[in-house]
Amino acid sequence: MALKATIFKADLQIADMDRHYYQDHALTVARHPSETDERMMVRLLAFGLHAHEALTFGKGLSTAGEPDLWQKDLTGGIELWIDVGLPDEKDIRKACGRAHRVIIYSYGGRSADLWWAKSRDKVERAGNLTVINLPPAASQNLTKLARRTMQLQCTVQDGGIWLADNEDRVEVSLVTLKPPRR
């Protein structure tokens, strides 16, 4: 018998002064049985950083060829494709061919460093690709905020990022490994 996803509810209040985006989102997040709290919280952080009325969660880890988050236009074209983790370079190239913008949020410390060293040359030419790394302390600290029912505030100001609940506040520093080519 297959294990079912665990459902998390998150009320996410976003105040992104850099993008002038101020909105509340009531999110339902399905955490795959093999997904960690760390990965799920990185997905929530990515949602907060790119929040838009058309941004939605993908079907999850068990669905190949679909991102963790995506934003489609009214014709069904993929405007934004967001993956969390360490995707295969073949999947990255495929995503870059399907979407206008692709963003990878890597995390995991040494394993993320090794993944990037191996993948960099193979994906460097993709002009619509951005690769961002979360330092280990930041992604691990996000797990303090993981609860089955969450009330979170995501604040972005002058490049600084904070995710908080009523008890804890986590400052997240992002490292851009590959900016998009303009």
- Inform me whether the pLDDT recorded for 1 exceeds 60: no
Question: Mean pLDDT over all residues of the chain?
Answer: 94
- Inform me whether the pLDDT recorded for 132 exceeds 60: yes
**What is the average per-residue pLDDT within 89-104?**
96
**What is the average per-residue pLDDT within 70-93?**
96
Higher pLDDT: 54 or 4? It is 54
**For the chain, percent of residues with pLDDT exceeding 90:** 89
Domains and CATH numbers, the chain: 6-178 (3.10.640.10)
Task: Read off the pTM.
Answer: 0.94
How would DSSP label each residue in 92-159? HHHHHHHEEEEEEEE-STHHHHHHHHHHHHHHTT-TTEEEEE--HHHHHHHGGG--SEEEEEEEEETT
**In terms of DSSP bridges, do strands 21-31 and 6-16 run parallel, antiparallel, or are they unpaired?**
antiparallel
- Inform me whether the pLDDT recorded for 63 exceeds 90: no
Confidence at 3, pLDDT banded by 50, 70, 90: confident
